[in-house]
Amino acid sequence: MGKSKVLVVGGTGYVGRRIVKASLEQGHETYVLQRPELGLDIEKLQMLLSFKKQGAHLVEASFSDHQSLVDAVKLVDVVICTMSGVHFRSHNLLLQLQLVEAIKVAGNVKRFLPSEFGMDPALMGHALEPGRVTFDEKMTVRKAIEDANIPFTYISANCFAGYFVGNLSQMGTLLPPRGKVILYGDGNVKAVFMDEDDVATYTIKTIDDPRTLNKTVYLRPPENILSQRQLIEKWEKLTGKQLEKSSINEQDFLASMKGLDYAGQVGLGHFYHVFYEGCLTNFEIGEGGEEASALYPEVNYTRMDEYLKVYV
C-alpha cells in the first residue's frame, strides 16, 4: 500500500494551506484545486504557485462545471475540503454538496474529509440561532456523504489557537489584552485549544488509517484541555504581570448579542457554547469517535504556553 494521493479543496485558506503543507511533508502526492474564479486575487495565485514549487500539482476545476470536479476527483484517493464556514470571512459550506456529487459520480475516492474542523456538529442540535446555521449546514453535508456511502473521516479540531489563545479568548481582537481581561462566567469551563499546524498534521495522519474510517476524530490532546482561567494564568506567568479580571455572567453575555450584526451574533453564539456550556469537553468520546493524540502519540503537539511566547 503506497500513500494515498490527496486533493485539497480550499487550499489557499486558513486551514487549507496548512493541510497542503502537512500532506507534502508526510509524503503524499498532493493536488490543490485551482478555481478559475480566482480572477485578480494575486495573493491566492502566488500561494498556489508556491505550493507548486514545493511539489504539489495544481488542478483546474470549478464548482460551476460538474465534469471538471469529477475529473479532478478521479486523480486522487482522498479528498479534503477546507472551505470556509465562518461568517466574518466567506461562508460557503453547502457548495460542498456539489463536491459530494462529483465524488459519488467518480466512484474512486477512498476517503472524504469535509470542511468541519470545529466543534462536532452532531452534538450541536440544540445550538442557538443564528450561529446554529454552521452546524445545520455541516450536518446537511454529512447526510449527503453518508447517503452516498462515501467513506469519510470527520475532524473535530475545537478552538484554533490563532483565534482563541493569543487574545486569551477575548472577542473582537486577536491580540492579548494589556491590562484587563473578561472572564466568561467563573472562567473555569474547560475548552480545547489547538495550534493550527497540529490540526493539519493530525488530519493528514488519519487519511490512510483504518482506525479512523467512518469515524469522527476529536483533536483533544490532554495538555491542551484548559479553562480560560488556566490560559490567562499561562500568559501571566510568561509576562510576569497580573491582569485585572472581571466576569460577565451568562445572561449579560447573551443579552450582548442584541445589536450585533449577523456575523457577530453567530460568533457570540459559538463562544457561548464553548465557554459557558463547555460543549467541547462535556462528553465522553463514544464508539463512533477516536482521539487524535491517543492514536498518534508520536506527534509532539504545541502546548499553549509555548504558543503564547510569540505574543509576549
Q: What is the DSSP letter of 59?
A: E
The answer to whether the peptide bond before residue 130 is cis (omega within 30 degrees of 0) is: yes
- Determine contact, residues 181/243, Cβ cutoff 8 Å: yes
Of the candidates 296, 311, 93, which has an alpha carbon nearest to the alpha carbon of residue 209? 296
Q: Which of 21, 44, 104, 138 is catalytic?
A: 138
Cα distance between residue 147 and residue 30, in whole Å: 27
Looking only at the bridges linking them, the beta strands covering 78-81 and 6-9 are: parallel
Cα distance between residue 305 and residue 129, in whole Å: 34
| 21 catalytically annotated | no
Q: Dihedral sign for Cα 233, 234, 235, 238, please.
A: positive
Please identify every residue annotated as catalytic.
Answer: 138
